[in-house]
Structure 1
C-alpha cells in the first residue's frame, strides 16, 4: 500500500506535532543487513489483536542508528520541543523480501514534500477537522496535498489539563478511491491500536490517581499549574511502545495492500468477437468444431466454396497486413475511385474482384473486409463461377469468369478488375506482407451499374480520413477502425431494438431516433446492412426479452 501512517500529538506548548511516521520504501534506500521486525512482514498474524498480544513478548525490532539517517527536514532544537513531542531517534525498519519493500519508521519523513503533506494533514487533523463525537475517524484532503483518513483520540494523563492529551493517527495517500475503498479495514484496525494505547495509559492513570494528594487545595493548585507534556512512553510506562506502533503500522500497510489488488479488466466483447465465438462450439470431449448446417443440395454445391474459404484463416492473422493493403489500394485507385469502392462495401453491395493473380485478388478482398463488421462479411475468396450476392458480398473470380447479363442489369455490385503483368509465381516473395508485392505490380479498373448518393455515410468519411493520415501507424489505424466499427454497431443495436423488438414504428419515430444516436439520412442504408451483422446471441436475447415483457 503506497501510503504513510503517522502518529500526531497536540502539544499545549508547541501545538500540533508529528511524532512517528511509517512508510514503505525501496530497499536500495537503506544499507545494511538488519532484518527488522520479521514477524510483521512474514504475516504470521492474521489479526491486529493477535499481533499486539504477541509483539510485547518479542524484541524483534532493532534501533537503526547506523541505518536510518537524520531527517533532511529541519528538526526542532532541544529548546523548541518537549518530552511530549519526542518519539524515537533514529527509528526502526522491517524488510519484506517477498516484494522487495522496506518499511521505515522515524520521527519525520525524509522527503521534504512528503513531510509538508504530513505536516499539513497533522494540523488539520488536530485543529481544523472535527469528527462526530469526541474521537473517531474522519476523511479529508485533496489531489494536491493528498487524501487523509484521520482517527483522533485522547490518552489519559493525570498531570495534564483535563487529565488527558489529544492524539491522532493519520493515513495519507494520493489515491482517493483506493483509500476510501480501504476505509472499513483501516478504521477497524486503527481503532484496535488506539484502544490498546488507551488501555495502557488508563492503567498508568489509575495508579497515579491513587498516589495523588487528596486535599482539595493541593489538587486545585496542581490543576492550575500543570506539568509539561510527558512522552507516550511515560504515559503508557512501556519503553517499547513505539516498537509496537511500528509493527502495527507495518502490518496495516502490508495487509491493506494485499487486501485490495489492482487487476486489468477487459471490456465487454465486441460484436466481431461474439461472431467469432458463435462460429465454433466445444464438444464434451473438448474438441472445437465449426457450426455446420444440415446437408442439403445447396450445401453439396457449396462444398467447393468451403475449400476456398479454408484459406481465409490466414487473413485473420494478418489484420495489420490488411490495413497496409487497403492503404496501398487507396493510393493505387485514387481517392475518388476508392471512395466509390469503399461506399459499395459498407452499404452491402456485392464486391466482385476479378483477376488472374489469386494472391492479389485475395489481398484486395481482405483489405476491404477491415472496414466492414465481421458479421456482414460473406466471402468467397476465389471461384471459377459467379456466386449470387445473397451467398457472398465479397467475391473473387478467375479472369475468364463472365458475369451473367441479368446480373449486370439488375444487381447492386461493383466490379474491380485486377490487371497484372506476367510474373514468375515460382519465385517466393516473403519480405512484404501477403499480397502486397502482387498489389504493387497490378493496375486496377472499376466499373459499376449502380449510382451511389453524392454523400457517403459518416463512418466512411472518418475511415477515409484515418487511412490518409500517414502519421497513424498500422497498429494504431487497425485499432481505430475497430473502434469506429464498434461505435456504429452500438448505434445499430439501438436501431434493431427500436424497430424489430419495439413493435411497429412510424417513419417519424425512426427519424427522431437517428437524430438521437447521431445518424443522418445518408447513414440509413449502412445501418440497415450492418444490422444483418449482429450476432445471433444479441438478436435472440433482444427478441426473447421483448416477448417476455409482452
Structure 2
C-alpha cells in the first residue's frame, strides 16, 4: 500500500506535529536517504522518537518492498504534507468520541484533497501525570493519493488502528497509576492550581508508556498495516482454477521478522479466505467439498431462491437433518452475509433458539422445532432410498415482485458456468463486502436528506431496502 502512516502528537512547547512515520519504498537506495528534522524540535524529548540519523527497516521478499520508519518522512516531498495532516488531525479534525484518555477510541475522520493528499485520522489520548489535564493528545494518520482505495479499506484500517491505540493507552495507564501511587498527595493541589509540577518539562513516548522498545513496536504494526492493506483489496483476472497467491503460501512466515506470527491468520480472517470461527471444523474435508453452494442449489431446487432471500433479509431458517449436511448448509449460507453477522448462524445447536439470538440454526433430526410461518423457514434434510439428499422447505412468506439487486447478482454468479467453486466464493465475498460498505456509509449520515442522497449515489433502490434495514441493525 503506497501510503504514509504517522503517529502525531500535541507538544505543549511546539504544538502539533508528526512524531514517528512509516512508509513503503520500492527501488530506492535506503542508504542514500537524508532525513531532515525541524531544528526547533530537536531538543524536545516529547518531539523526538528515533532521532534524525537513524530509522527502522523491514523487507517483504515477495514484493521487494521496504517499509521504512523514521522521525519524519524520508521522501522530502511528503514532509510538508504529513505536517499539515498532523496539524489538522490534532487541532480540528478530531472525533467527539475521543474526549477521554482511557475511554473509547475516536473512530476515523476523513479529510484532505487531491493536492494535499487524502487522510484518515484516528485520534486518542494517553494518560500523563505531568501533562495539563493529566492527558496528552495523539493521533495516527494515514495519508495517500488514492481516495477510493483508502475509503474501501477503511473497515480494516479502523480495526487495526483501534487496536494499536488501545494498547498504547493500556501502557500509559499502567505508568499513570504508578505515578499516582507515588505522588497522589499532589493531585488535588495540581487540579486547584491548573498547571503541571514542571511546565517546562515534556515527557517522551517512551516515558509515557514505560516501554523502551515502543517505537520498534510501532514500526512492526505500521509496517504490517501497509503490508496487509495492499492485499486487503486486490483485483485479479482468473482463468480456470486459480492457484493460491504466493503471499498465502508457505513463504508468508518468512517475510517480516518484526510482524507477529499470526499475521497470515489475521489477514485471511479479514478477507474471508481462511478458517473462520465456526462449528464445522470437525466435518470431513471431502464432505465440505462435495456439499458446496452449487450442490445445495441442486438439492433445494426451486426453493433455493427463497432460502437466499431469507438469509439476506433476516428471516429465520431452521434446519433439521444429519449434522454433517446441516453444518455444511449453514456454512454455505453464511457466505451470503458479512463477516460481523456470522455470529447469527449456529452450525449445530442442541435446542431451538429464538430469532433474536440466531437467524440460521441447525438442529438434529429429532429436535423440537417451531412450525413454519412468514417469519420462519423450515428446511428438513432427509435421505431417500438411493441415499441422495432431499430437502423439504416450508415457508409461508412470499417473495417480492422485484428481487433485491444483491440477490439477483448472487443468482447470476451461481449460474455462471465459468466460475469454479473457489472463484465463486471470492466473487460472492467481494459483492457482500461492497454492500456491507454501503450500509456502513449510510450509518455515517446524520440526516434523512443525506441518506437519500447517498442511496442515490450508490445505486440503492427500493427493493434493496429490506436488506439495508436488516444489515443496518447488525453491522
- Category of TM-score, reference length = shorter chain: 0.3 to 0.5
For normalisation by structure 1, the TM-score amounts to: 0.39
- Structure whose alpha-carbon radius of gyration is higher: 1
For normalisation by structure 2, the TM-score amounts to: 0.45
